[in-house]
Amino acid sequence: MSSTLPPRLTLEELSQLSKSLQSSAPLPDVELHGLDMGWYIVRLHYSDSVGLLVDAQGETKRFSGTQWVSRALAPLGFTHGVLTWADATDEMVGNETPPVTAQQRMAYGVRVAFETRH
**Percent over 90 (pLDDT), the chain:** 55
What is the C-alpha separation between 103 and 108, in angstroms, rounded? 9
Q: Beta partners for 41?
A: 33, 62
Lowest mean pLDDT across 18-22, 50-54, 109-113: 18-22
What is the C-alpha separation between 66 and 82, in angstroms, rounded? 11
| 95, 103 Cβ separation under 8 angstroms | no
Give the model's pLDDT for residue 1.
47
Task: Using the predicted structure, report yes or no on whether residue 90 has a pLDDT greater than 70.
Answer: no
What is the C-alpha separation between 51 and 30, in angstroms, rounded? 10
Span 7-43, pLDDT tens digits: 999 999 999 988 887 677 789 999 999 987 789 999 9
